[in-house]
Structure 1
Amino acid sequence: MRVLGDKVDLEGLIADAVEEGRQVQVVHGAPTKAATLEAFSEALNFPEWFGMNLDALADCLDTLARDSEGDWEIVWDGAAELRRTDPRAATGIESVLAELDEDHPSVHVTIIAR
């Protein structure tokens, strides 16, 4: 998992990942835990049963990782907003993403802190 600062060129980052053969999905940050989980759900097309909590986030991401073909990259852009408003929620989501990155070598996680 890598954490990048606010000067990142998102389009360039995506182009580089695609050039390296990864499928890329971008999750745009939000100011609350609920809105951030909703952003993950929408961006990654989670099933209707998604429970809007960290355990459900971990379960859905794990399922997607196991079912994906080839390398896959999740980019959480705008993570700093949640860090400012709800540091505990941001840390929880970052932990879920770190575990996903560690457990699935074909999954790459990038967090953009802006």
Structure 2
Amino acid sequence: MRVLNDKVDLEGLIADAVEEGRQVQVVRGGATKAATLEAFSQELNFPEWFGMNLDALADCLDTLARESEGEWEIVWDDAAALRRSDPHAATGIESVLAELDETHKSVHVTIIDR
């Protein structure tokens, strides 16, 4: 898992990942835990039963990782907004993403802290 600052070129980052053979999905975070979880749900097309909590996030991401073919990169953009408003929630989501990155070698996680 890598954490990048606000100076990153998102389009360039995506182009590099695609060139390296990864499917890329960008999740634009929100200023609240609920908004950020909703962004993950919408962007990654989580099932209706998604519970809007960290355990459900971990379950859905794990399922997607196991079912994905090839390399996959999740980019959580605008993570700083949640970090400012709810540091505990931001740390929780980061922990879920770090575990996903460690457990599934075909999954790459990038957090953009802006």
SS of residue paired to 2:83: helix
- Tell me how far 1:27 sits from its aligned partner: 0.1
CA distance in 2, matches of 1:36, 1:25: 14
- Tell me how far 1:29 sits from its aligned partner: 1.1
Quick one: percent identity of the two aligned structures? Answer: 87
Q: Say how many residue pairs are matched.
A: 114
CA distance in 1, matches of 2:75, 2:98: 12
- Tell me how far 1:90 sits from its aligned partner: 0.1
| Map of 2:31 onto structure 1 | 31
| Map of 2:43 onto structure 1 | 43
Question: Which segments of 5 or more consecutive residues in structure 1 lack a partner in the other structure?
Answer: none
Give a deviation string over 1:31-51, Cα, whole Å, max 9, x none: 000000000000000000000
Question: Which segments of 5 or more consecutive residues in structure 2 lack a partner in the other structure?
Answer: none
Give TM-score scaled by structure 2 length. 1.00
| Map of 2:92 onto structure 1 | 92
CA distance in 1, matches of 2:29, 2:100: 18
SS of residue paired to 2:27: strand
CA distance in 2, matches of 1:11, 1:46: 24
Give a deviation string over 1:3-48, Cα, whole Å, max 9, x none: 0000010000000000000000000010000000000000000000
Give TM-score scaled by structure 1 length. 1.00
CA distance in 1, matches of 2:25, 2:44: 7
| Map of 2:105 onto structure 1 | 105
| Map of 1:57 onto structure 2 | 57
Give a deviation string over 1:48-103, Cα, whole Å, max 9, x none: 00000000000000000000000000000000000000000000000000000000
SS of residue paired to 2:26: strand
SS of residue paired to 1:83: helix
> Post-superposition, which runs of at least 4 consecutive aligned residues in structure 1 deviate over 4 A?
none
SS of residue paired to 2:41: helix
CA distance in 2, matches of 1:41, 1:29: 11
**RMSD value, Cα:** 0.2
